[in-house]
């Protein structure tokens, strides 16, 4: 194997190892960054939902109370208001979702699916947990889920959820007396879950990863070409020239021109040393003759 081939094999092998290592690292960094962006969006949605609930609880409920409203109004329930608000948002962002789900809901539409029930059971088993993050596959791709527990934090909640006998008659008429009762103060009864699609951020992360890796590959090829050109003119060509002169001298040819090195690098020093050796050899042969 010639010098050029040895050099190229070595540098390509070293680049391949580094390229794979950098690829694995960059891929994990891009995916992690995409997940952080999605999680940030989920937290913004969760904050918006909590803001809607807070507004309903502090602004709407007092207005109904001041007007001596006796009929049960679902719109005055903070969870209901947040859910309806985000149902409207889904007209624009169809893959985004906010659910307020409970193990024993008043409205049967709020019953949890299996994976949602797992979140609720985790909160019940670990009461100090304030947030859970998970991912799941959907028909439109992977989605990130951010969940917070729903607990009976205010005794006023028990007016509707302790027993059917104390619940508003209009609520019983709307939802029946079989569901949404038996709640206890400070009990975790459900979870508020935000689902944000990850397909677009992950696609962007993959595209950015491909562009970066392609740029690194092109940069390497350009550097490899430049190094090979330098290798040819700085090392291989002078060495081949000196080797040709040495071959001719070894065959007794005295008419071979000397190689005049340029510069003061190691190759030039080698060529100069060979030229001195050749002149010394010529002088010795002349003395012998």
The burial class, CB within 10 Å (0-12 / 13-18 / 19+), for 198 is buried
User: What pLDDT shows up at residue 74?
Assistant: 66
* Whole-number Cα distances in Å, 251 to 50, 184, 201, 246, 281: 94, 107, 71, 9, 13
| Residues in Cβ contact with 90 at an 8 Å cutoff, skipping those fewer than 6 apart | 96, 97
In a domain, 157, yes or no: yes
In a domain, 4, yes or no: no
Do 189 and 244 lie in a common domain?
Answer: no
Domain that holds residue 96: 13-199
Do 131 and 263 lie in a common domain?
Answer: no
Domains: count for the chain: 2
User: What pLDDT shows up at residue 56?
Assistant: 77
Q: What CA dihedral angle connects 272, 278, 284 and 288, to 10 degrees?
A: -170
Q: What is the pLDDT along the chain (289 residues), one digit of tens a residue?
A: 677 888 889 899 999 999 999 999 999 999 999 999 999 988 988 888 888 877 777 777 666 665 555 566 666 677 777 777 787 877 787 788 888 888 888 888 888 999 999 999 999 999 889 999 998 888 878 889 999 998 888 777 777 788 888 877 778 877 888 888 888 888 899 999 998 888 889 989 999 999 999 999 999 999 999 999 988 887 787 777 777 777 776 666 666 676 666 767 677 777 777 777 777 766 766 666 6
H or E segment to which residue 268 belongs: helix 266-288
CA-CA-CA-CA torsion sign (175, 149, 132, 194): positive
User: What pLDDT shows up at residue 212?
Assistant: 95
Do 73 and 213 lie in a common domain?
Answer: no
Do 77 and 114 lie in a common domain?
Answer: yes
Query: Whole-angstrom Cα distance, residue 93 to residue 83?
Result: 14
User: What pLDDT shows up at residue 127?
Assistant: 87
Q: What tokens does 138 get?
A: 């959907």
Q: Which of 90, 97, 62 is nearest to 76 (CA)?
A: 62
User: What pLDDT shows up at residue 27?
Assistant: 94
In a domain, 2, yes or no: no
Q: What tokens does 134 get?
A: 């998970």
In a domain, 6, yes or no: no
Do 261 and 122 lie in a common domain?
Answer: no
Do 181 and 211 lie in a common domain?
Answer: no
Give the burial string for 258-289 (b: 16+ CB within 10 Å, else e). ebebeeeeebbeebeebbeebeeeeeeeeeee
Do 182 and 229 lie in a common domain?
Answer: no
């Amino acid at each position: 194997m010639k010098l050029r081939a040895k050099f190229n094999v070595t540098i390509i092998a070293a680049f391949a190892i580094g390229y794979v290592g950098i690829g694995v690292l960059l891929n994990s960094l891009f995916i992690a960054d995409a997940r952080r962006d999605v999680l940030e969006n989920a937290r913004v949605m969760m904050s918006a939902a909590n803001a809607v609930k807070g507004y309903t609880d502090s602004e709407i409920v007092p207005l109904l109370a001041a007007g001596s409203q006796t009929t049960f109004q679902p719109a005055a329930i903070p969870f209901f208001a947040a859910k309806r608000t985000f149902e409207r948002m889904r007209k624009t962002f169809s893959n985004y979702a906010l659910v307020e789900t409970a193990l024993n809901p008043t409205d049967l539409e709020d019953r949890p699916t299996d994976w949602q029930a797992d979140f609720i059971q985790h909160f019940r088993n670990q009461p100090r947990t304030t947030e859970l993050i998970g991912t799941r596959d959907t028909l439109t791709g992977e989605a990130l889920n951010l969940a917070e527990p729903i607990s009976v934090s205010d005794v006023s909640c028990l007016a509707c959820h302790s027993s059917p006998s104390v619940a508003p008659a209009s609520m019983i008429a709307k939802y029946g007396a079989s569901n949404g009762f038996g709640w206890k103060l400070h009990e975790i009864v459900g979870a508020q879950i935000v689902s944000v699609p990850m397909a677009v951020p992950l696609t962007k992360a993959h595209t950015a990863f491909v562009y970066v890796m392609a740029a690194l590959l092109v940069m390497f090829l350009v550097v490899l070409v430049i190094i090979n050109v330098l290798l040819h003119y700085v090392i291989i060509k002078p060495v081949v020239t000196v080797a040709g002169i040495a071959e001719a001298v070894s065959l007794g040819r005295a008419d071979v021109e000397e190689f005049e090195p340029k510069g003061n690098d190691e190759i030039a020093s080698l060529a100069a040393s060979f030229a001195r050796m050749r002149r010394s050899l010529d002088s010795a042969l002349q003395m012998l003759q």
